[in-house]
Amino acid sequence: MELDARFFRREAGRLTAALTRLFGVHNLALAEDVTQDALCRALEVWKFRGPPPNPSAWLMATAKNRALDVLRRERTARTFAPELGRWVETEWTLRSTVDALFAAEAIQDDQLRMMLSCCHPRLPEEAQIAVVLQVLCGFSVKEIASAFLETPAAVEKRVTRAKKALAGSKTLFDLADAGELAARLPVVHRALYLLFNEGYHGASPESAVRVELCQEALRLVALLLDHPSAQTPATRALAALMCLHAARMPSRLDDAGDLTPFFEQDRSRWDQTLIADGWRLLDASAAGTEVTAYHLEAAIAGVHACAPSARETDWGAVVRLYDALLALRPSPVVALHRAIALGQQQGPEHGLAAIAAISGRERLEQYPFYAAALAEMELARGERARARARFREALALARNPTERRSLERRLAACDPPS
């Protein structure tokens, strides 16, 4: 049987979540060891004749047996999960308690608990994301570092710090505490949003890596959607936003792995299933009184997703949504996107004027897409020389070969066809 390429990684996250619940969050390192051990055994055994018919159950049983050994051996030397207390202390209840913890629904909740615990508001966002990726998604420090173009030492430091905070928190997040959950959700949303964005717009030159980050964000947001207290309108809006953006991924990269500008994308390659999911979630998110930035960003992505071409897009609606987003969360990047939409609706002169009016515009100057946006507008109004100069500025700021090649192609497009 053929395993999904993410199988080991995903199972690692599931096992560690269940084992941490069993051992207690202060024994996270022990849980990770048992997970690693189970995966090693799987590798050793499966490499000869392939994985068994139910590889997930096999891994689970292996980890469970290892966990029982550890609990029996170290019951007197260590304290395990305080909330399970006596249930794991006596042989009478040990096995049934462990069995219950490894049931599918329990593991689903364990992952949610772990995610909420990792997204502790006192941790910097990049530490939250790094520890979620390591503990819940099975990425190694080296893999996270290469996805974020950082040194393994920097990521290691972040993960260590986050795990220390996690271990110090004594217990995992309590899903039954509705007040705490409501307070923690925005932090989790933000971390997942940043994770998704890193995948979508990120610096890693390898598109496969970035796709994986987006997929992880989608999988983690689905954990929130599945839980009655976590499936809030904001959660749905965030999930809608991810679906509607992810739908465009197949057309963002051409066969050579180069970025295709939004306006040139082949829309027949957009994923219609994801678009339908996104719209369904966006509809469901229109409840309650709060309109979050996720609602607005999802709605913008929704307008694009249902437009037959860039030209036939309801740019007026896009501008209005950006106006609302700016009112909610003022930022030069959002203002730049609004100006681009305005340029499409009313013409490049208006777009350029809107860019000139952005407050905090100097903060955009290191962002390659700022110069590129100016270049596109100059090109649209026939100022080829200015467009070329702006594209060269953008090129000098490009963060990876993919961005560079895409900008080089736009630069070449400034020359009149001979």
Partner 1 sequence: MSQFVFLYRGGMPADTSPAEMQQQMQRWMTWLKELGEKGFVKDPGQPLERGGKLVSGKQKMVTDGPYAEKDLVSGYTLVEAKDLAHAAELSLGCPIFTYGGAVEVRPVAKM
CA distances from 361 to 39, 87, 293, 333 (A): 50, 60, 21, 9
Using the rule CB under 8 A, is 5 a contact of partner 1?
yes
Tell me whether residue 45 or residue 412 sits nearer to partner 1 (CB atom): 45
Candidate list 48, 53, 359, 366; residue touching partner 1; CB under 8 A: 48
Candidate list 17, 19, 30, 39; residue touching partner 1; CB under 8 A: 39
Residue 289 burial (10 A CB sphere; 0-12, 13-18, 19+): exposed
Q: Which stretch binds partner 1 (CB under 8 A): 4-12, 183-191, 222-230, 318-326?
A: 4-12
End-to-end CA distance of the chain: 55
Using the rule CB under 8 A, is 50 a contact of partner 1?
yes
d(CA 74, CA 293): 49
Stretch 183-222: interaction string toward partner 1, x if CB under 8 A: ----------------------------------------
Q: Which stretch binds partner 1 (CB under 8 A): 32-40, 176-184, 384-392, 396-404?
A: 32-40
d(CA 194, CA 254): 24
Contact 392, 362 (CB under 8 A): no
Candidate list 73, 95, 142, 170; residue touching partner 1; CB under 8 A: 142
Using the rule CB under 8 A, is 86 a contact of partner 1?
no
The distance of closest approach from Cβ of residue 66 to partner 1 in the complex, given in angstroms and rounded to an integer, is 12
Using the rule CB under 8 A, is 40 a contact of partner 1?
yes
The pair of structure tokens assigned to 12 is 């690692």
d(CA 296, CA 112): 26
**Three-state DSSP state, 150:** coil
Contact 9, 143 (CB under 8 A): no
- Please list every residue from 102 through 141 that binds partner 1, using CB under 8 A: 138-140
Contact 20, 28 (CB under 8 A): yes
Q: Which stretch binds partner 1 (CB under 8 A): 9-17, 64-72, 116-124, 149-157?
A: 9-17
Using the rule CB under 8 A, is 8 a contact of partner 1?
yes
The distance of closest approach from Cβ of residue 134 to partner 1 in the complex, given in angstroms and rounded to an integer, is 10
Q: Can you list the positions of beta strands (E) in 373-414? A: none
Using the rule CB under 8 A, is 47 a contact of partner 1?
yes
The pair of structure tokens assigned to 143 is 């893999």
Residues of this chain that interact with partner 1 (CB under 8 A) are: 3, 5-9, 11-12, 36, 39-40, 42-50, 138-140, 142-143
